Amino acid sequence: MIDSSENRDVFIETGGLYGPWPSPKKHNVFCIKSNNKKLIYNDIPESWEFYDLLNDSSEQENIYHESSDEIKLMKNKLITHMKENNIYTKITPN
């Protein structure tokens, strides 16, 4: 039996306490997970990451490519979600 929840879009946001771009007071990492793929937007330093979780569950190989249609679709969904929920970032200014 296939778990249908794995095919739905999941949106996540967080503010890192540690790491290369800590932001404990404001969320600075946003992502969408869908169909075993994960697209991450880092507001600082305005960078993107994309992972195929079936083949890279530990997210070691960033396969982000600006021209990918799949990435463009997920990016649009993430930005739309952020705008609809009044989440202000460098790519969704108020």
Q: 3-class DSSP state for residue 74?
A: helix
When the pLDDT of each residue in the chain is averaged and rounded to a whole number, the result is: 88
Domains in the chain, number: 1
Asked if residue 70 is part of any domain, the answer here is: yes
Asked if residue 90 is part of any domain, the answer here is: no
Asked if residue 24 is part of any domain, the answer here is: yes
Asked if residue 94 is part of any domain, the answer here is: no
> For the chain, what is the radius of gyration of the CA atoms?
13
Find all residues with CB under 8 Å of 5, minimum gap 6, and list them. Answer: none
Q: What is the pTM of this model?
A: 0.85
Asked if residue 41 is part of any domain, the answer here is: yes
**pLDDT computed for residue 24 by the predictor:** 65
Find all residues with CB under 8 Å of 79, minimum gap 6, and list them. Answer: 91, 92
Percent of the chain with pLDDT over 70: 87
Q: How many angstroms separate the CA atoms of 55 and 78, rounded? A: 22
Instruction: Look up the domain containing 64 and give its range.
Output: 4-84
Asked if residue 91 is part of any domain, the answer here is: no
Q: 3-class DSSP state for residue 77?
A: helix
Amino acid at 40: I
The CATH code of the domain that includes 27 is 3.30.1120.10
Percent of the chain with pLDDT over 90: 65
Asked if residue 30 is part of any domain, the answer here is: yes
**pLDDT computed for residue 27 by the predictor:** 83
| 16-61 pLDDT tens trace | 767 776 676 778 899 999 999 999 999 988 999 999 999 999 999 9
Residue 4 DSSP one-character state: G
**pLDDT computed for residue 14 by the predictor:** 84
Asked if residue 62 is part of any domain, the answer here is: yes
